[in-house]
Amino acid sequence: MSEQTKRILLVDDRAEFVAIMAERLRQRGYEVAVATDGPAALAAMGRQRFDGVVLDLVMPGMDGIETLTHIKELDPTVRVIVLTGHASSQYVVQALALGAADFMVKPVDIDSLLARLVEA
């Protein structure tokens, strides 16, 4: 993702977390959409194109792996950074195999996350 990229989708079932992250990204000049579950993320992807997606792996209902699969079907080129509070190598390997660009373990530093999005 280039420095000019501005549109990010944050997907996490913890509404407070996405609200804080969204505000921090907006303060740095990014356009941010948020979703608190997989179906809402896919609906957002259907409405507009995103340059990057920050996706939680562990969510109730449609988990991050299933959401990632559908995201990549909708837009194979979108860069996805997977966030997890559970650094299970099984999920990380599966996410990378499905096309995630990178993964980070929560809690995540906003500047590190931005650097990973730019690198991706």
Residue 2's pLDDT is 47
Query: In sequence order, which residues have a C-beta less than 8 Å from that of residue 51 and are 6 or more positions away?
Result: 1, 5, 6, 7, 8, 78, 79
Query: In sequence order, which residues have a C-beta less than 8 Å from that of residue 105 and are 6 or more positions away?
Result: 83, 84, 85, 87
19, two tokens: 């609200």
The average confidence (pLDDT) of the chain is 89
Pick the more confident residue, 117 or 39.
39
Question: Using an 8 Å Cβ cutoff, are 67 and 29 in contact?
Answer: no
Q: pLDDT tens across 22-60, in order?
A: 999 999 899 999 999 999 999 999 999 999 999 998 899
For residue 15, the one-letter residue type is A
Report whether pLDDT(65) > 50: yes
Q: What's the CATH number of domain 7-119, 3.40.50.2300, 3.30.460.10, 3.40.50.720, 3.20.20.140? A: 3.40.50.2300
| CA pair distance 108, 20, nearest whole angstrom | 12
68-93 mean pLDDT = 88
Using alpha carbons, select from 4, 1, 3, 21 the residue that is nearest to residue 108. Answer: 21
Domain ranges of the chain: 7-119
Residue 5's pLDDT is 53
80-98 mean pLDDT = 84
